[in-house]
Amino acid sequence: MGTIYTTQDTFSIPAPVSSLTLGHVGQLYAGSDDGSLRVYDLSTNKVSKAIRGLSGEVSSIICVKRPGSELRDAWIAHGRMISRFKLDTKKMIQTLDDALVSLTVGETKDRSSQPGLKLALNGNKSHLAFGLDSGVVGLVELGKKEICSSVQFISDRGNELVSAGYDHFVKHLDFIKDEFISGIQMDDSTLAAPENGISFSPPFVLSTAFSPSGVFAIGTADGRLGVFFGGERSTAPLKKKPKRWPGLSTAEMLLLKVADGPIVAVSFSQARVLTISTMLGVLTQYELIYDAQDDQGQALLKQLWQGDVKTIEKVNAMLVDERRIIVGGLSKDGKGVIEVWKKGGASIAAVPEAPLPEEQTPAKEEGEN
């Protein structure tokens, strides 16, 4: 098929990896379910900064550039809190007390069964959105105060976002006007029955992603991949931009069962190149083929590559760019693990387990030389 990825590095972490994001070039931010965050320098494979003692699982990370800084600030969702940290400081390890600002959202009586908060930042960096498992989508105007299973801003639409979650519903909203614009219910009216007539999981929407050109993709708990081409930006110079993003059109939608298990992550590396991961770590990369001018309106998936994770028992997060696929989750022994897959090249040996920096050299007992 042409495209080949091989494992470049494997990082071991004491606690399961729950979220990943890329900061400045060569920096990987990894959150864990023990309330810690590590910043890896990928040129040395070492932890350069860390945060510990947060209020719960680090479920989402958004990096924001600070002028003149090599390290991004980080908005972190942890437990039922959202905090902003400045990582470009002399302090190697920070705690919640070092946060520039913290907010508590979505209080519930039973926290044990609650999925984590998910964050998104709009294109002009003016608003931060958060999604709750209860179906509530909230927004914070940055500079004043801050903060579903997934929420995504539409990149060229300053007021519009898409949310999706465990109610099987994908919603298109104008958050400034507090207006519902459109939506699609992932139920029998939208979904064809599986080929074997049996589905062991409901069509919860577990993951979403936008391409640079406005194609929208979703992954569901029953292994279906949905791709919406209706909002893709036209390259025709004379075509007028529609007043509202028209992306949730069933007439320009591809919806197929492509996996045997839940699709926990979807990510675009190019306008029409999409990578997905199942919970058990089957990674598949597709080229999306669609011509809006075609009378048949047929959309196709062309598989470019497929592989299985090597050391991850359960995948929780994935990042993709044009050169790499980075996957995080937990290993068979319940610890955290990150695999970095590189396009082409040979496999490289695993990186030793990375505790927080101050834990790397045990303190001497009294009386030791």
DSSP string, 201-238: S---EEEEEE-TTS-EEEEETTSEEEEE-TTPPP--TT
Using a pLDDT cut of 70, give the percent of the chain over it: 73
Q: Please write the tens of the pLDDT for every residue from 54-76.
A: 989 999 998 888 877 878 899 99
Residue 273 lies in a domain: yes
What's the chain's average pLDDT?
80
Q: Please write the tens of the pLDDT for every residue from 233-262.
A: 776 555 667 778 887 888 888 889 999 999
Q: Please write the tens of the pLDDT for every residue from 339-363.
A: 999 998 555 556 666 666 554 433 3
* CA gap 194, 198 in Å, rounded: 6
Q: Give the domain CATH number at 215.
A: 2.130.10.10
Total tally of structural domains belonging to the chain: 1
b/e string for 76-96 if b means 16 or more Cβ within 10 A?
bbbbbbbbbbbbeeeeebbeb
* Distant-in-sequence, close-in-space partners of 137: CB < 8 Å, separation ≥ 6: 129, 130, 131, 148, 151, 161, 163, 171, 173, 175
Contact between residue 326 and residue 341 where contact means Cβ atoms under 8 Å apart: yes
What's the token pair of residue 173? 């909203």
* Distant-in-sequence, close-in-space partners of 214: CB < 8 Å, separation ≥ 6: 154, 155, 156, 231, 232, 233, 245, 247
In what order do the strands lie in the sheet containing 93-94? Answer: 17-22, 27-32, 37-41, 46-51, 93-94
Dihedrals phi, psi of 263, to nearest 5 degrees? -95, 105
* CA gap 165, 169 in Å, rounded: 6
The confidence score (pLDDT) of residue 53 equals: 94
Query: What is the three-class DSSP state of 250?
Result: helix
Residue 354 lies in a domain: no
Query: What is the three-class DSSP state of 185?
Result: strand
With a cut of 50, say whether residue 117 has pLDDT above it: yes
Local structure of residue 351 (DSSP, 8 states): B
Full domain range(s) for residue 151: 116-234+242-261+268-297
Residue 146 lies in a domain: yes
Contact between residue 213 and residue 204 where contact means Cβ atoms under 8 Å apart: no
* CA gap 42, 225 in Å, rounded: 31
Enclosing H/E stretch for 119: strand 118-121
Residue 81 bridge partners (DSSP) = 78, 104
Sign, Cα dihedral of 275, 18, 149, 23: negative
The confidence score (pLDDT) of residue 35 equals: 95
Tell me whether residue 200 is exposed, middle or buried, using C-beta atoms within 10 angstroms of its C-beta: 0 to 12, 13 to 18, 19 or more.
Answer: exposed
Residue 340 lies in a domain: no
The confidence score (pLDDT) of residue 194 equals: 47
Q: What is the CA radius of gyration of the chain?
A: 21
Beta strands 37-41 and 27-32 are: antiparallel
Residue 307 lies in a domain: no
The confidence score (pLDDT) of residue 362 equals: 36
Which is more confident, 111 or 100? 100
The confidence score (pLDDT) of residue 319 equals: 94
Residue 61 lies in a domain: no
Residue 163 lies in a domain: yes
Provide the whole-model pTM.
Answer: 0.78
Beta strands 224-228 and 216-220 are: antiparallel
Which is more confident, 188 or 164? 164
Residue 160 lies in a domain: yes
Q: Which of 281, 342, 267 is nearest to 309 (CA)?
A: 281
Using a pLDDT cut of 90, give the percent of the chain over it: 42
